[in-house]
């Protein structure tokens, strides 16, 4: 539940320690790598970046309470760990696929990609459902799925260019979301992320973990079959 919430939530509250020792919280766009480690793409001019350069310890709060009449009954996850600045064009592509507006400043020299190395997660899934989760249990072991990370951009591009009808079926028939020009924004070993032009997002889950393009194709075809059967029940 905790990893799924982090995967599906496009923003996070970033808590850092300022150089004077005071706490500071800001809102950031977020993505994740295939293991579930959060990614942020931030300017060196921002206060939170200056803080991270001095002290990399940080916390990220992913809020899944939107839509709940009583907000505190919804789930939220706080990750605690260290932020590391990385130079990875593939992960930058993954971030921008999720947040197209970041394309305009992709190559600005003052922007850099950071990844959190979580130490533990704190899941609050409603009243009385509160758990500390060690990083080893929160993260997905993506080492057997390296080939999928390498093929992800091609698979997502192919689905959007040649199988937009299938992507739309995933959203409407499997997730019960309104019809729109849905597109796939990412794919990982556990599922795929979708987004409509108005910013509405959805996530579909695979029946089994996938590790390469061949397994991804089988999983995506199975989802189309399931979606069509749900539209036309026997």
Q: Do 26 and 118 fall within a single domain?
A: yes
Q: Do 78 and 193 fall within a single domain?
A: no
Q: Do 159 and 101 fall within a single domain?
A: no
pLDDT at residue 130, rounded to an integer: 95
Q: How many domains are contained in the chain?
A: 2
Cβ neighbours for 25, distance < 8 A, ≥ 6 positions apart? 13, 14, 15, 16
Q: Do 14 and 128 fall within a single domain?
A: yes
Q: Give me the DSSP letters along the chain.
A: -HHHHHHH--EEEEEEE-TTS-EEEEEEE-EE-TTS-EEEEEETTSHHHHHHHH--EEEEEEEE-TT-SSGGGSEEEEEEEEEEEE--HHHHHHHHHH-GGGGGGTT-TTEEEEEEEEEEEEEE-STT-EEEEEHHHHS---GGGHHHHHHHHHHHHHHHHH-HHHHHHIIIIIT-PPPS--EEEEEETTEEEEE-TTS-EEEEE-SS---SHHHHHHHHHHHHHHHHHHHS--
pLDDT (tens, 9 = 90+) of the chain, 234 residues, equals: 999 999 999 999 999 999 999 999 999 999 999 999 999 999 999 999 999 999 999 999 999 998 888 888 899 999 999 999 999 999 999 999 999 999 999 999 999 999 999 999 999 997 788 999 999 999 999 999 999 999 999 999 999 999 999 999 999 999 999 999 999 999 999 999 999 999 999 999 999 999 999 999 999 999 999 999 986 654
Q: Do 127 and 84 fall within a single domain?
A: yes
Q: Do 49 and 133 fall within a single domain?
A: yes
* Domain end among 140, 165, 180: 140
* Domain end among 108, 140, 172: 140
pLDDT at residue 126, rounded to an integer: 78
Q: Do 173 and 132 fall within a single domain?
A: no
Q: Do 94 and 174 fall within a single domain?
A: no
Q: Do 46 and 94 fall within a single domain?
A: yes
Range of the domain at 187: 145-231
């Amino acid at each position: 539940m905790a990893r799924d919430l982090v995967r599906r939530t496009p923003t996070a509250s970033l808590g850092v320690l300022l150089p004077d020792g005071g706490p500071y919280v800001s809102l950031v766009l977020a993505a994740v790598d295939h293991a579930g480690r959060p990614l942020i793409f931030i300017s060196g001019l921002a206060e939170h970046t200056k803080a991270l350069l001095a002290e990399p310890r940080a916390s990220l709060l992913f809020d899944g309470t939107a839509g709940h009449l009583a907000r505190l009954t919804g789930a939220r996850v706080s990750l605690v760990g260290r932020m590391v600045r990385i130079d990875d064009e593939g992960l930058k592509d993954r971030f921008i696929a999720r947040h197209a507006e970041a394309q305009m400043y992709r190559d600005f020299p003052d922007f850099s990609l950071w990844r959190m190395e979580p130490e533990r997660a704190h899941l609050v899934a409603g009243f009385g459902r509160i758990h500390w989760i060690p990083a080893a249990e929160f993260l997905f072991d993506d080492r057997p799925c390296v080939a999928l990370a390498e093929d992800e951009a091609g698979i997502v591009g192919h689905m959007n260019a040649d199988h937009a009808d299938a992507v739309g079926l995933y959203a409407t028939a499997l997730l019960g979301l309104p019809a729109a020009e849905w597109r796939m924004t990412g794919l990982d070993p556990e599922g795929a992320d979708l987004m409509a032009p108005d910013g509405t997002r959805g996530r579909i889950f695979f029946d089994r973990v996938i590790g390469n393009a061949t397994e991804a194709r089988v999983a995506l075809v199975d989802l189309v079959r399931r979606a069509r059967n749900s539209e036309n029940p026997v």
